[in-house]
């Protein structure tokens, strides 16, 4: 498992051979979204199915939302899967407000 951290954000990555699971914790904002997007896109570009666990996310802004949408689009373009799992209340609230809760199903 690989872990990257900043003061208010961390990412842990595990690969079980079928899925790469990326666990994000803390705040996803303009400062941390690029780090998360790099991980998501990197694994998708290598053909991995990605599960993004957002259960530990305490805050997410429009930069984080863009990261989720870009991840979904990259997965579609690469004919692989991108699934959200363990969505926190902060994530669910943002997806609901933006209408993207119908696009992203909880895994």
For CA atoms 25, 29, 32, 33, the dihedral sign is positive
What's 2-102's CATH class? alpha beta
User: Residue 98 — φ and ψ, nearest 5°?
Assistant: -90, -5
For the chain, how far is it from start to end, CA to CA, in angstroms?
21
pTM of the complete model = 0.89
**What pLDDT is stored for residue 1 in this prediction?**
52
Q: Do 57 and 24 meet the contact criterion of CB atoms below 8 Å apart?
A: yes
Give domain limits for the chain.
Answer: 2-102
**What pLDDT is stored for residue 28 in this prediction?**
96
pLDDT in tens, 34-73: 999 999 999 999 999 999 999 999 999 999 999 999 999 9
Strands 49-60 and 82-85: parallel
pLDDT exceeds 70 at position 103: yes
**Nearest C-alpha neighbor of 106 from the set 59, 57, 54:** 54
Q: What is the mean pLDDT of the chain?
A: 91
pLDDT in tens, 20-29: 999 999 999 9
**Rounded to whole angstroms, how far apart are CA atoms 73 and 76?**
5
pLDDT exceeds 80 at position 6: no
Q: Both tokens of residue 65? A: 């939302």
């Amino acid at each position: 498992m690989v872990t990257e951290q900043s003061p208010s954000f961390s990412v842990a990555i595990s690969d079980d051979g079928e899925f790469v699971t990326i666990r994000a914790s803390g705040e996803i904002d303009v400062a941390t979204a690029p780090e998360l997007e790099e991980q998501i896109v990197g694994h998708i570009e290598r053909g991995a199915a990605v599960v993004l666990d957002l259960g530990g996310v305490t805050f997410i802004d429009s930069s984080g939302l863009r990261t989720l949408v870009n991840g979904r689009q990259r997965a579609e373009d690469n004919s692989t899967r991108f699934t959200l799992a363990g969505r926190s209340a902060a994530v669910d609230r943002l997806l609901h407000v933006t209408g993207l809760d119908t696009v992203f199903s909880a895994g």
